[in-house]
């Protein structure tokens, strides 16, 4: 049978909250969700681009071009890390989209999606993804982000 689902392509990274992520409402502030996503994404780069030297994407440069997030549950500080699952949702020549879910077991706090553009810090312009980078991102390609509401 060929209907076997492929190996689940999601990468799960544990991100540690800080008490200072909370705002005057006593919940993790909406802006800090983006900080948590940034941290998870940077750790994902280390995994996905391991063959290309780990932090190569960060060193050569990468820009965030677009981000979308749906906040589903309020999150309160605790010392235990949360899980951020990440996968690739679309792949272009110089850019890719990636999805995120901020989770703790069954609880789903937020869904998000980013568009990233490979950037050349020297020329200050976009650059083509290398074949190693494309291979890594292709292996992480998964389903669209299940946003509840999209304009």
Nearer to its own copies, 112 or 140 (CB): 112
**Alpha carbon distance 65, 69 (integer Å):** 14
Find residue 82's DSSP bridge partners.
Answer: 15
Q: For residues 25-84, which are near its own copies according to CB under 8 A?
A: 25-26, 29-32, 34-35, 38-39, 42-43, 46, 58, 61, 63-71, 77, 79
As measured in angstroms, the least distance from the Cβ of 50 to its own copies is 13
Q: DSSP class of residue 148?
A: S
**Alpha carbon distance 4, 47 (integer Å):** 25
Q: Which stretch binds its own copies (CB under 8 A): 4-12, 19-27, 101-109, 126-134?
A: 19-27
Nearer to its own copies, 7 or 75 (CB): 75
The full DSSP string for 60-81 is H-EEEEEEEEEE-S-----SSP
Nearer to its own copies, 16 or 51 (CB): 16
Q: DSSP class of residue 9?
A: -
Under rule CB under 8 A, residue 150 binds its own copies: yes
As measured in angstroms, the least distance from the Cβ of 118 to its own copies is 14
13: number of Cβ within 10 Å: 20
Q: How far are the Cα atoms of 70, 79, 107 from residue 73, in angstroms, in the given order?
A: 9, 18, 8
Q: Which residues bind its own copies (CB under 8 A)?
A: 16, 18-20, 22-26, 29-32, 34-35, 38-39, 42-43, 46, 58, 61, 63-71, 77, 79, 97, 113, 115, 121, 144, 149-151
């Amino acid at each position: 049978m060929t209907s076997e689902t492929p190996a689940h392509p999601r990468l799960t990274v544990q991100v540690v909250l800080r008490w200072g992520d909370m705002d005057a409402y006593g919940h993790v502030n909406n802006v800090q969700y983006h900080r948590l996503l940034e941290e998870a994404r940077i750790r994902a780069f280390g995994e996905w681009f391991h063959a290309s030297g780990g932090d190569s994407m960060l060193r050569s440069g990468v820009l965030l071009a677009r981000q979308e997030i749906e906040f589903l549950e309020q999150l309160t500080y605790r010392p235990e890390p949360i899980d951020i699952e990440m996968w690739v949702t679309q792949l272009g020549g110089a850019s890719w989209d990636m999805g995120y879910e901020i989770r703790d077991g069954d609880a789903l706090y937020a869904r998000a999606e980013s568009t990233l553009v490979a950037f050349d810090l020297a020329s200050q312009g976009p650059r083509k993804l290398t074949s190693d980078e494309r291979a890594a991102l292709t292996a992480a390609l998964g389903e669209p982000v299940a946003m509840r509401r999209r304009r």
